[in-house]
Structure 1
Amino acid sequence: PADAKEELMNECEHIWKQMEECQSKLMLLGTETLPPSDAKLSLLMLQWKALTVDCRQWQARNPEIISTNPDVLLELGKEELRKVKSDLEMMMLTVQSKNKQLDEDLKREQQWYEEQKQMLDALNKIEEEANTEGERPSSTRDFNELMNKISKLKTFKKELLSALGEFLDEHFPLPEKSENTKKTKRSSAEPAVKLITLQEILEILINKILTTPHEPYITISESFWPPYIELLLRCGIALRHPKDPYKMRLQAFH
Protein backbone atom coordinates (compact mmCIF):
# COMPACT_ATOMS: atom_id res chain seq x y z
CA PRO A 1 0.00 0.00 0.00
CA ALA A 2 2.86 2.43 0.69
CA ASP A 3 4.40 1.82 -2.75
CA ALA A 4 1.02 2.22 -4.39
CA LYS A 5 0.47 5.52 -2.61
CA GLU A 6 3.90 6.77 -3.66
CA GLU A 7 3.26 5.75 -7.26
CA LEU A 8 -0.08 7.56 -7.24
CA MET A 9 1.56 10.69 -5.86
CA ASN A 10 4.19 10.59 -8.61
CA GLU A 11 1.52 10.33 -11.29
CA CYS A 12 -0.35 13.26 -9.78
CA GLU A 13 2.82 15.37 -9.76
CA HIS A 14 3.46 14.48 -13.41
CA ILE A 15 -0.04 15.55 -14.40
CA TRP A 16 0.35 18.75 -12.40
CA LYS A 17 3.57 19.60 -14.26
CA GLN A 18 1.79 19.11 -17.59
CA MET A 19 -0.93 21.49 -16.46
CA GLU A 20 1.67 24.10 -15.49
CA GLU A 21 3.32 23.83 -18.91
CA CYS A 22 -0.03 24.31 -20.64
CA GLN A 23 -0.74 27.33 -18.47
CA SER A 24 2.67 28.86 -19.35
CA LYS A 25 1.98 28.42 -23.06
CA LEU A 26 -1.37 30.12 -22.67
CA MET A 27 0.22 33.01 -20.84
CA LEU A 28 2.71 33.46 -23.66
CA LEU A 29 -0.07 33.47 -26.24
CA GLY A 30 -1.97 36.03 -24.24
CA THR A 31 0.93 38.56 -24.35
CA GLU A 32 0.59 39.16 -28.11
CA THR A 33 -0.67 42.69 -28.86
CA LEU A 34 -3.51 43.33 -31.25
CA PRO A 35 -4.44 46.47 -33.20
CA PRO A 36 -6.82 48.67 -31.22
CA SER A 37 -9.44 48.62 -33.97
CA ASP A 38 -9.67 44.84 -34.19
CA ALA A 39 -8.77 44.02 -30.58
CA LYS A 40 -12.26 43.06 -29.44
CA LEU A 41 -13.14 41.08 -32.56
CA SER A 42 -9.81 39.30 -32.63
CA LEU A 43 -10.14 38.41 -28.96
CA LEU A 44 -13.57 36.89 -29.53
CA MET A 45 -12.33 34.95 -32.57
CA LEU A 46 -9.38 33.67 -30.57
CA GLN A 47 -11.64 32.52 -27.74
CA TRP A 48 -13.96 30.85 -30.24
CA LYS A 49 -11.08 28.96 -31.87
CA ALA A 50 -9.72 27.89 -28.50
CA LEU A 51 -13.09 26.63 -27.37
CA THR A 52 -13.62 24.80 -30.66
CA VAL A 53 -10.27 23.05 -30.41
CA ASP A 54 -10.89 22.21 -26.77
CA CYS A 55 -14.31 20.78 -27.63
CA ARG A 56 -12.90 18.61 -30.41
CA GLN A 57 -10.14 17.35 -28.15
CA TRP A 58 -12.64 16.37 -25.47
CA GLN A 59 -14.84 14.64 -28.03
CA ALA A 60 -11.93 12.65 -29.45
CA ARG A 61 -10.40 11.88 -26.08
CA ASN A 62 -10.91 8.49 -24.47
CA PRO A 63 -11.07 8.05 -20.71
CA GLU A 64 -7.62 7.42 -19.30
CA ILE A 65 -6.98 4.97 -16.53
CA ILE A 66 -4.99 6.59 -13.76
CA SER A 67 -3.01 3.46 -13.06
CA THR A 68 -3.05 -0.23 -13.84
CA ASN A 69 -1.43 -1.14 -10.57
CA PRO A 70 -3.95 -3.25 -8.57
CA ASP A 71 -2.67 -1.81 -5.29
CA VAL A 72 -3.33 1.71 -6.56
CA LEU A 73 -6.79 0.76 -7.73
CA LEU A 74 -7.46 -0.92 -4.37
CA GLU A 75 -6.47 2.23 -2.48
CA LEU A 76 -8.60 4.36 -4.78
CA GLY A 77 -11.54 2.01 -4.25
CA LYS A 78 -11.08 2.14 -0.48
CA GLU A 79 -10.93 5.92 -0.55
CA GLU A 80 -14.07 6.08 -2.64
CA LEU A 81 -15.82 3.67 -0.26
CA ARG A 82 -14.75 5.80 2.70
CA LYS A 83 -16.28 8.84 1.02
CA VAL A 84 -19.47 6.93 0.28
CA LYS A 85 -19.56 5.65 3.87
CA SER A 86 -19.09 9.16 5.21
CA ASP A 87 -21.88 10.46 2.98
CA LEU A 88 -24.17 7.63 4.04
CA GLU A 89 -23.42 8.24 7.72
CA MET A 90 -24.26 11.90 7.30
CA MET A 91 -27.46 10.95 5.51
CA MET A 92 -28.31 8.45 8.26
CA LEU A 93 -27.81 11.11 10.94
CA THR A 94 -30.05 13.45 8.98
CA VAL A 95 -32.74 10.77 8.62
CA GLN A 96 -32.51 9.86 12.31
CA SER A 97 -32.89 13.49 13.27
CA LYS A 98 -35.88 13.77 10.95
CA ASN A 99 -37.41 10.59 12.40
CA LYS A 100 -36.93 11.91 15.92
CA GLN A 101 -38.71 15.10 14.95
CA LEU A 102 -41.50 13.08 13.35
CA ASP A 103 -41.84 10.94 16.50
CA GLU A 104 -42.20 14.06 18.61
CA ASP A 105 -44.79 15.44 16.20
CA LEU A 106 -46.64 12.11 16.28
CA LYS A 107 -46.71 12.10 20.09
CA ARG A 108 -48.10 15.62 20.12
CA GLU A 109 -50.75 14.67 17.55
CA GLN A 110 -51.71 11.56 19.55
CA GLN A 111 -51.99 13.60 22.73
CA TRP A 112 -54.17 16.13 20.91
CA TYR A 113 -56.28 13.28 19.51
CA GLU A 114 -56.80 11.77 22.98
CA GLU A 115 -57.82 15.15 24.37
CA GLN A 116 -60.28 15.69 21.53
CA LYS A 117 -61.64 12.16 21.99
CA GLN A 118 -62.20 12.70 25.71
CA MET A 119 -63.91 15.99 24.98
CA LEU A 120 -66.13 14.33 22.37
CA ASP A 121 -67.04 11.50 24.77
CA ALA A 122 -67.94 14.04 27.44
CA LEU A 123 -70.13 15.97 24.99
CA ASN A 124 -71.82 12.76 23.82
CA LYS A 125 -72.51 11.80 27.43
CA ILE A 126 -74.00 15.23 28.14
CA GLU A 127 -76.14 14.96 25.01
CA GLU A 128 -77.30 11.46 25.96
CA GLU A 129 -78.24 12.61 29.45
CA ALA A 130 -80.12 15.57 28.00
CA ASN A 131 -82.00 13.29 25.58
CA THR A 132 -82.81 10.87 28.40
CA GLU A 133 -84.19 13.67 30.53
CA GLY A 134 -86.22 14.88 27.56
CA GLU A 135 -87.63 11.40 26.96
CA ARG A 136 -88.62 10.75 30.56
CA PRO A 137 -92.02 12.47 30.35
CA SER A 138 -92.79 10.53 27.19
CA SER A 139 -91.71 7.25 28.83
CA THR A 140 -93.85 7.99 31.87
CA ARG A 141 -96.82 8.77 29.65
CA ASP A 142 -96.33 5.54 27.68
CA PHE A 143 -96.05 3.58 30.92
CA ASN A 144 -99.28 5.08 32.23
CA GLU A 145 -101.05 4.28 28.97
CA LEU A 146 -99.79 0.71 29.13
CA MET A 147 -100.98 0.32 32.72
CA ASN A 148 -104.40 1.66 31.71
CA LYS A 149 -104.60 -0.87 28.90
CA ILE A 150 -103.61 -3.69 31.26
CA SER A 151 -106.25 -2.56 33.75
CA LYS A 152 -108.88 -2.51 31.00
CA LEU A 153 -107.83 -5.99 29.86
CA LYS A 154 -108.08 -7.33 33.40
CA THR A 155 -111.54 -5.82 33.76
CA PHE A 156 -112.59 -7.29 30.42
CA LYS A 157 -111.17 -10.67 31.47
CA LYS A 158 -113.21 -10.64 34.68
CA GLU A 159 -116.36 -9.70 32.80
CA LEU A 160 -115.71 -12.39 30.20
CA LEU A 161 -115.10 -15.08 32.82
CA SER A 162 -118.17 -13.98 34.73
CA ALA A 163 -120.32 -14.17 31.60
CA LEU A 164 -118.80 -17.55 30.73
CA GLY A 165 -119.49 -18.83 34.24
CA GLU A 166 -123.11 -17.71 34.10
CA PHE A 167 -123.56 -19.32 30.69
CA LEU A 168 -122.00 -22.61 31.79
CA ASP A 169 -123.90 -22.70 35.08
CA GLU A 170 -127.14 -22.15 33.23
CA HIS A 171 -126.64 -24.59 30.35
CA PHE A 172 -124.11 -27.08 31.78
CA PRO A 173 -124.80 -27.34 35.52
CA LEU A 174 -123.34 -29.97 37.81
CA PRO A 175 -125.46 -33.09 38.44
CA GLU A 176 -127.77 -33.31 41.44
CA LYS A 177 -126.12 -34.08 44.75
CA SER A 178 -127.93 -37.39 45.18
CA GLU A 179 -126.89 -38.53 41.70
CA ASN A 180 -123.34 -37.40 42.29
CA THR A 181 -123.22 -39.30 45.57
CA LYS A 182 -124.63 -42.43 43.95
CA LYS A 183 -122.15 -42.46 41.07
CA THR A 184 -119.00 -41.49 42.92
CA LYS A 185 -119.44 -43.39 46.18
CA ARG A 186 -117.08 -46.35 46.32
CA SER A 187 -118.05 -47.63 49.74
CA SER A 188 -120.19 -46.61 52.64
CA ALA A 189 -117.08 -45.54 54.56
CA GLU A 190 -115.60 -43.31 51.82
CA PRO A 191 -116.86 -39.74 51.34
CA ALA A 192 -118.16 -38.62 47.94
CA VAL A 193 -115.73 -36.88 45.53
CA LYS A 194 -116.53 -33.22 45.01
CA LEU A 195 -116.97 -32.47 41.33
CA ILE A 196 -115.70 -29.21 39.84
CA THR A 197 -117.62 -27.07 37.39
CA LEU A 198 -117.02 -26.92 33.65
CA GLN A 199 -115.68 -23.38 34.05
CA GLU A 200 -113.04 -24.58 36.51
CA ILE A 201 -111.98 -27.35 34.11
CA LEU A 202 -111.60 -24.82 31.30
CA GLU A 203 -109.59 -22.48 33.54
CA ILE A 204 -107.25 -25.35 34.47
CA LEU A 205 -106.74 -26.20 30.79
CA ILE A 206 -106.12 -22.54 29.84
CA ASN A 207 -103.65 -21.91 32.67
CA LYS A 208 -101.78 -25.12 31.86
CA ILE A 209 -101.27 -24.31 28.16
CA LEU A 210 -100.21 -20.74 28.98
CA THR A 211 -97.78 -21.53 31.80
CA THR A 212 -96.22 -24.68 30.31
CA PRO A 213 -96.86 -24.68 26.55
CA HIS A 214 -94.24 -27.42 26.08
CA GLU A 215 -96.30 -29.72 28.38
CA PRO A 216 -99.95 -28.66 28.04
CA TYR A 217 -101.55 -31.95 29.19
CA ILE A 218 -103.37 -32.26 32.52
CA THR A 219 -104.32 -35.44 34.36
CA ILE A 220 -108.02 -36.26 34.43
CA SER A 221 -108.94 -36.70 38.08
CA GLU A 222 -112.10 -38.08 39.69
CA SER A 223 -113.31 -34.53 40.31
CA PHE A 224 -113.81 -34.13 36.54
CA TRP A 225 -117.37 -35.12 35.67
CA PRO A 226 -117.11 -37.58 32.69
CA PRO A 227 -119.91 -35.90 30.68
CA TYR A 228 -117.94 -32.64 30.84
CA ILE A 229 -114.86 -34.41 29.50
CA GLU A 230 -116.86 -36.05 26.73
CA LEU A 231 -118.42 -32.70 25.82
CA LEU A 232 -115.03 -30.97 25.53
CA LEU A 233 -113.59 -33.80 23.43
CA ARG A 234 -116.59 -34.05 21.08
CA CYS A 235 -116.72 -30.28 20.49
CA GLY A 236 -112.98 -30.12 19.70
CA ILE A 237 -112.25 -27.85 22.65
CA ALA A 238 -109.92 -30.42 24.24
CA LEU A 239 -107.73 -33.23 22.90
CA ARG A 240 -106.90 -36.52 24.59
CA HIS A 241 -103.29 -37.63 24.95
CA PRO A 242 -102.40 -40.07 22.12
CA LYS A 243 -100.76 -42.54 24.54
CA ASP A 244 -102.38 -41.83 27.90
CA PRO A 245 -106.23 -41.77 27.96
CA TYR A 246 -106.20 -40.19 31.43
CA LYS A 247 -104.62 -36.97 30.13
CA MET A 248 -105.98 -34.21 27.94
CA ARG A 249 -105.08 -30.72 26.79
CA LEU A 250 -106.75 -27.60 25.45
CA GLN A 251 -106.92 -27.19 21.69
CA ALA A 252 -104.29 -24.64 20.57
CA PHE A 253 -106.69 -22.04 19.18
CA HIS A 254 -104.06 -19.29 19.41
Structure 2
Amino acid sequence: MWFEEHIKSLISQAADDFDDTVAADTVLQEPGDGGARDQMLDQVLAAQKAQREQLWQKLHELEDTYKHAVQPSLCGEDQTPEKKLLSQYMYEERELSSELEKQMNDVNVISRPSDQTIVELQFKESLFRSTDQLHQALAFIEAELKESVETLQRETAVLKECKEIRSVLTDKLDRVRNGGQHIAAPDSQMEKIPAIRQKHNATMGDLIDFLDMYYPPHPCESPEPADEDMDGARDPNANFCELKFILEDLMNQVVMNPSNPYITLEPGTYWPPYIETLVKAGIALRHPEDSSKIRLADFRL
Protein backbone atom coordinates (compact mmCIF):
# COMPACT_ATOMS: atom_id res chain seq x y z
CA MET A 1 0.00 0.00 0.00
CA TRP A 2 2.83 2.39 0.83
CA PHE A 3 4.34 1.77 -2.60
CA GLU A 4 1.14 2.77 -4.40
CA GLU A 5 0.81 5.93 -2.30
CA HIS A 6 4.41 6.84 -3.05
CA ILE A 7 3.91 6.43 -6.78
CA LYS A 8 0.74 8.54 -6.65
CA SER A 9 2.61 11.29 -4.82
CA LEU A 10 5.44 11.24 -7.40
CA ILE A 11 2.98 11.44 -10.28
CA SER A 12 1.12 14.28 -8.57
CA GLN A 13 4.39 16.15 -7.93
CA ALA A 14 5.45 15.72 -11.56
CA ALA A 15 2.13 17.07 -12.77
CA ASP A 16 2.34 20.08 -10.44
CA ASP A 17 5.90 20.85 -11.54
CA PHE A 18 4.84 20.68 -15.18
CA ASP A 19 1.94 23.07 -14.52
CA ASP A 20 4.22 25.47 -12.68
CA THR A 21 6.77 25.42 -15.50
CA VAL A 22 4.13 26.09 -18.15
CA ALA A 23 2.45 28.82 -16.13
CA ALA A 24 5.72 30.64 -15.22
CA ASP A 25 5.95 34.17 -16.63
CA THR A 26 9.25 34.00 -18.50
CA VAL A 27 10.72 37.26 -19.75
CA LEU A 28 11.45 36.88 -23.39
CA GLN A 29 13.10 39.15 -25.93
CA GLU A 30 11.25 41.01 -28.59
CA PRO A 31 9.94 39.02 -31.48
CA GLY A 32 12.66 40.44 -33.57
CA ASP A 33 15.30 38.74 -31.44
CA GLY A 34 14.46 35.19 -32.40
CA GLY A 35 17.69 33.61 -31.13
CA ALA A 36 17.09 34.43 -27.45
CA ARG A 37 13.47 33.08 -27.62
CA ASP A 38 14.55 29.79 -29.12
CA GLN A 39 17.31 29.43 -26.59
CA MET A 40 14.84 29.94 -23.76
CA LEU A 41 12.50 27.30 -25.16
CA ASP A 42 15.33 24.87 -25.48
CA GLN A 43 16.30 25.41 -21.88
CA VAL A 44 12.69 24.83 -20.74
CA LEU A 45 12.40 21.66 -22.77
CA ALA A 46 15.78 20.41 -21.52
CA ALA A 47 14.75 21.08 -17.92
CA GLN A 48 11.43 19.29 -18.42
CA LYS A 49 13.24 16.36 -20.08
CA ALA A 50 15.73 16.11 -17.24
CA GLN A 51 12.89 16.29 -14.72
CA ARG A 52 10.95 13.54 -16.58
CA GLU A 53 14.04 11.36 -16.71
CA GLN A 54 14.59 11.89 -13.02
CA LEU A 55 10.98 10.98 -12.27
CA TRP A 56 11.15 7.90 -14.49
CA GLN A 57 14.39 6.85 -12.82
CA LYS A 58 12.79 7.14 -9.39
CA LEU A 59 9.79 5.21 -10.71
CA HIS A 60 12.03 2.38 -11.97
CA GLU A 61 13.93 2.32 -8.70
CA LEU A 62 10.70 2.03 -6.75
CA GLU A 63 9.50 -0.72 -9.08
CA ASP A 64 12.73 -2.67 -8.59
CA THR A 65 12.46 -2.22 -4.84
CA TYR A 66 8.89 -3.49 -4.93
CA LYS A 67 9.89 -6.55 -7.00
CA HIS A 68 12.72 -7.42 -4.62
CA ALA A 69 10.41 -6.97 -1.64
CA VAL A 70 7.51 -9.03 -3.05
CA GLN A 71 9.39 -11.78 -4.95
CA PRO A 72 10.66 -13.76 -1.90
CA SER A 73 7.15 -13.96 -0.50
CA LEU A 74 5.74 -15.12 -3.82
CA CYS A 75 8.42 -17.65 -4.71
CA GLY A 76 8.91 -18.80 -1.16
CA GLU A 77 12.71 -18.66 -1.28
CA ASP A 78 13.12 -17.17 2.20
CA GLN A 79 10.14 -18.97 3.74
CA THR A 80 10.55 -21.80 6.21
CA PRO A 81 8.73 -25.16 5.66
CA GLU A 82 6.22 -24.21 8.37
CA LYS A 83 5.41 -20.94 6.59
CA LYS A 84 5.12 -22.71 3.24
CA LEU A 85 2.73 -25.26 4.77
CA LEU A 86 0.77 -22.47 6.43
CA SER A 87 0.53 -20.60 3.13
CA GLN A 88 -0.66 -23.74 1.40
CA TYR A 89 -3.32 -24.32 4.06
CA MET A 90 -4.45 -20.72 3.82
CA TYR A 91 -4.70 -20.99 0.06
CA GLU A 92 -6.70 -24.21 0.33
CA GLU A 93 -8.94 -22.61 2.92
CA ARG A 94 -9.66 -19.68 0.61
CA GLU A 95 -10.40 -22.03 -2.28
CA LEU A 96 -12.67 -24.22 -0.16
CA SER A 97 -14.44 -21.19 1.25
CA SER A 98 -15.10 -19.85 -2.22
CA GLU A 99 -16.31 -23.26 -3.41
CA LEU A 100 -18.53 -23.62 -0.36
CA GLU A 101 -20.00 -20.21 -0.93
CA LYS A 102 -20.63 -21.09 -4.57
CA GLN A 103 -22.31 -24.36 -3.64
CA MET A 104 -24.46 -22.66 -1.02
CA ASN A 105 -25.56 -20.10 -3.57
CA ASP A 106 -26.42 -22.89 -6.02
CA VAL A 107 -28.40 -24.70 -3.32
CA ASN A 108 -30.35 -21.62 -2.47
CA VAL A 109 -31.44 -21.08 -6.07
CA ILE A 110 -32.67 -24.68 -6.61
CA SER A 111 -36.34 -24.67 -7.50
CA ARG A 112 -38.16 -27.06 -5.24
CA PRO A 113 -41.28 -28.74 -6.57
CA SER A 114 -44.56 -28.25 -4.87
CA ASP A 115 -46.04 -30.83 -2.53
CA GLN A 116 -48.58 -31.85 -5.16
CA THR A 117 -45.79 -32.70 -7.62
CA ILE A 118 -44.05 -34.93 -5.07
CA VAL A 119 -47.30 -36.75 -4.35
CA GLU A 120 -47.87 -37.34 -8.06
CA LEU A 121 -44.33 -38.70 -8.53
CA GLN A 122 -44.74 -41.06 -5.57
CA PHE A 123 -48.10 -42.24 -6.92
CA LYS A 124 -46.61 -42.90 -10.37
CA GLU A 125 -43.70 -44.86 -8.90
CA SER A 126 -46.07 -46.97 -6.81
CA LEU A 127 -48.32 -47.51 -9.84
CA PHE A 128 -45.41 -48.66 -12.03
CA ARG A 129 -44.18 -51.03 -9.32
CA SER A 130 -47.65 -52.54 -8.87
CA THR A 131 -48.01 -52.92 -12.64
CA ASP A 132 -44.71 -54.82 -12.89
CA GLN A 133 -45.73 -57.14 -10.06
CA LEU A 134 -49.10 -57.80 -11.71
CA HIS A 135 -47.40 -58.62 -15.03
CA GLN A 136 -45.14 -61.13 -13.29
CA ALA A 137 -48.08 -62.68 -11.47
CA LEU A 138 -50.05 -62.89 -14.73
CA ALA A 139 -47.20 -64.70 -16.50
CA PHE A 140 -46.88 -67.17 -13.61
CA ILE A 141 -50.64 -67.82 -13.56
CA GLU A 142 -50.73 -68.33 -17.34
CA ALA A 143 -47.92 -70.90 -17.11
CA GLU A 144 -49.71 -72.75 -14.31
CA LEU A 145 -52.97 -72.62 -16.24
CA LYS A 146 -51.32 -74.08 -19.34
CA GLU A 147 -49.77 -76.88 -17.30
CA SER A 148 -53.09 -77.57 -15.57
CA VAL A 149 -54.91 -77.73 -18.92
CA GLU A 150 -52.37 -80.23 -20.28
CA THR A 151 -52.68 -82.34 -17.12
CA LEU A 152 -56.47 -82.22 -17.36
CA GLN A 153 -56.36 -83.38 -20.98
CA ARG A 154 -54.10 -86.32 -20.08
CA GLU A 155 -56.28 -87.26 -17.12
CA THR A 156 -59.40 -86.99 -19.28
CA ALA A 157 -57.91 -89.32 -21.90
CA VAL A 158 -56.90 -91.84 -19.20
CA LEU A 159 -60.33 -91.63 -17.60
CA LYS A 160 -61.97 -92.25 -20.96
CA GLU A 161 -59.80 -95.34 -21.56
CA CYS A 162 -60.55 -96.63 -18.06
CA LYS A 163 -64.27 -96.20 -18.63
CA GLU A 164 -64.07 -98.10 -21.89
CA ILE A 165 -62.11 -100.94 -20.27
CA ARG A 166 -64.53 -101.02 -17.35
CA SER A 167 -67.49 -101.15 -19.71
CA VAL A 168 -65.96 -104.05 -21.68
CA LEU A 169 -65.08 -105.98 -18.53
CA THR A 170 -68.53 -105.37 -17.05
CA ASP A 171 -70.20 -106.70 -20.20
CA LYS A 172 -68.02 -109.83 -20.15
CA LEU A 173 -68.73 -110.38 -16.46
CA ASP A 174 -72.48 -110.04 -17.05
CA ARG A 175 -72.34 -112.52 -19.89
CA VAL A 176 -70.43 -115.01 -17.77
CA ARG A 177 -72.83 -114.65 -14.86
CA ASN A 178 -75.96 -114.87 -16.98
CA GLY A 179 -74.87 -117.59 -19.40
CA GLY A 180 -72.76 -119.64 -16.98
CA GLN A 181 -70.14 -120.18 -19.67
CA HIS A 182 -66.41 -119.63 -19.44
CA ILE A 183 -64.77 -117.26 -21.82
CA ALA A 184 -62.90 -119.31 -24.31
CA ALA A 185 -59.91 -118.02 -26.16
CA PRO A 186 -60.21 -117.74 -29.93
CA ASP A 187 -59.14 -120.75 -31.96
CA SER A 188 -56.31 -118.77 -33.58
CA GLN A 189 -54.74 -118.10 -30.19
CA MET A 190 -55.15 -121.68 -29.05
CA GLU A 191 -53.29 -122.83 -32.12
CA LYS A 192 -50.33 -120.55 -31.24
CA ILE A 193 -49.91 -121.89 -27.71
CA PRO A 194 -48.07 -125.14 -28.63
CA ALA A 195 -45.66 -123.25 -30.89
CA ILE A 196 -45.02 -120.70 -28.16
CA ARG A 197 -44.37 -123.43 -25.58
CA GLN A 198 -42.02 -125.22 -27.95
CA LYS A 199 -40.12 -122.01 -28.64
CA HIS A 200 -39.94 -121.27 -24.92
CA ASN A 201 -38.54 -124.72 -24.13
CA ALA A 202 -35.97 -124.42 -26.92
CA THR A 203 -34.89 -120.98 -25.66
CA MET A 204 -34.55 -122.23 -22.10
CA GLY A 205 -32.51 -125.20 -23.29
CA ASP A 206 -30.17 -122.96 -25.26
CA LEU A 207 -29.80 -120.71 -22.21
CA ILE A 208 -28.92 -123.66 -19.95
CA ASP A 209 -26.37 -124.95 -22.46
CA PHE A 210 -24.83 -121.48 -22.75
CA LEU A 211 -24.56 -121.13 -18.97
CA ASP A 212 -23.10 -124.61 -18.53
CA MET A 213 -20.46 -123.89 -21.17
CA TYR A 214 -19.39 -120.34 -20.19
CA TYR A 215 -20.46 -120.17 -16.54
CA PRO A 216 -19.70 -123.59 -15.04
CA PRO A 217 -20.43 -124.41 -11.38
CA HIS A 218 -18.05 -122.70 -9.02
CA PRO A 219 -17.46 -123.32 -5.30
CA CYS A 220 -19.40 -120.91 -3.16
CA GLU A 221 -17.54 -118.35 -1.12
CA SER A 222 -18.13 -119.20 2.52
CA PRO A 223 -17.41 -116.82 5.41
CA GLU A 224 -14.97 -119.41 6.87
CA PRO A 225 -11.84 -120.63 5.01
CA ALA A 226 -12.51 -123.83 3.01
CA ASP A 227 -10.77 -127.01 4.12
CA GLU A 228 -8.00 -128.17 1.78
CA ASP A 229 -6.08 -131.43 1.51
CA MET A 230 -2.36 -131.65 1.95
CA ASP A 231 -1.83 -131.28 -1.80
CA GLY A 232 -4.01 -128.08 -1.98
CA ALA A 233 -7.18 -129.72 -3.44
CA ARG A 234 -10.54 -128.44 -2.22
CA ASP A 235 -13.10 -130.50 -0.40
CA PRO A 236 -15.28 -132.30 -2.96
CA ASN A 237 -18.30 -131.99 -0.66
CA ALA A 238 -18.15 -128.15 -0.73
CA ASN A 239 -21.22 -126.26 -2.07
CA PHE A 240 -21.14 -125.10 -5.68
CA CYS A 241 -22.81 -122.04 -7.14
CA GLU A 242 -24.48 -122.41 -10.57
CA LEU A 243 -25.56 -119.31 -12.43
CA LYS A 244 -28.52 -121.07 -14.05
CA PHE A 245 -30.06 -121.84 -10.66
CA ILE A 246 -29.73 -118.19 -9.61
CA LEU A 247 -31.55 -117.09 -12.78
CA GLU A 248 -34.20 -119.71 -12.17
CA ASP A 249 -34.79 -118.44 -8.64
CA LEU A 250 -35.04 -114.86 -9.91
CA MET A 251 -37.60 -115.76 -12.60
CA ASN A 252 -39.69 -117.89 -10.25
CA GLN A 253 -39.76 -115.12 -7.64
CA VAL A 254 -40.98 -112.60 -10.20
CA VAL A 255 -43.78 -114.93 -11.34
CA MET A 256 -44.81 -116.26 -7.91
CA ASN A 257 -44.54 -113.02 -5.92
CA PRO A 258 -44.68 -109.94 -8.19
CA SER A 259 -45.16 -107.56 -5.26
CA ASN A 260 -41.83 -108.67 -3.72
CA PRO A 261 -39.58 -110.02 -6.50
CA TYR A 262 -36.36 -109.87 -4.42
CA ILE A 263 -34.42 -112.95 -3.31
CA THR A 264 -32.03 -112.93 -0.38
CA LEU A 265 -28.41 -113.94 -0.98
CA GLU A 266 -27.36 -116.09 1.95
CA PRO A 267 -23.61 -116.13 2.71
CA GLY A 268 -22.02 -119.36 1.57
CA THR A 269 -24.66 -120.09 -1.09
CA TYR A 270 -23.35 -118.01 -4.01
CA TRP A 271 -20.20 -116.84 -5.72
CA PRO A 272 -19.94 -112.98 -5.75
CA PRO A 273 -18.46 -112.65 -9.28
CA TYR A 274 -21.57 -114.33 -10.75
CA ILE A 275 -23.80 -111.85 -8.89
CA GLU A 276 -21.71 -108.90 -10.07
CA THR A 277 -21.92 -110.22 -13.65
CA LEU A 278 -25.73 -110.21 -13.49
CA VAL A 279 -25.83 -106.72 -11.99
CA LYS A 280 -23.35 -105.13 -14.42
CA ALA A 281 -25.12 -106.76 -17.39
CA GLY A 282 -28.43 -105.21 -16.30
CA ILE A 283 -30.08 -108.61 -15.80
CA ALA A 284 -30.45 -108.25 -12.03
CA LEU A 285 -30.98 -105.21 -9.79
CA ARG A 286 -29.95 -104.75 -6.17
CA HIS A 287 -32.35 -103.63 -3.47
CA PRO A 288 -31.95 -99.86 -2.89
CA GLU A 289 -31.72 -100.35 0.90
CA ASP A 290 -30.39 -103.92 1.32
CA SER A 291 -27.42 -104.99 -0.82
CA SER A 292 -27.96 -108.64 0.06
CA LYS A 293 -31.20 -108.74 -1.99
CA ILE A 294 -31.47 -108.80 -5.78
CA ARG A 295 -34.32 -109.06 -8.28
CA LEU A 296 -34.76 -109.72 -11.97
CA ALA A 297 -34.85 -106.61 -14.12
CA ASP A 298 -38.18 -105.75 -15.71
CA PHE A 299 -37.77 -106.38 -19.46
CA ARG A 300 -41.37 -105.69 -20.35
CA LEU A 301 -41.90 -102.95 -22.92
- TM-score, normalised on structure 2? 0.32
More relative contact order in 1 or in 2 (CA 8 Å, sep 6+)? 1
If you compute each CA radius of gyration, which structure gives the higher value, 1 or 2?
Answer: 2
- TM-score, normalised on structure 1? 0.38
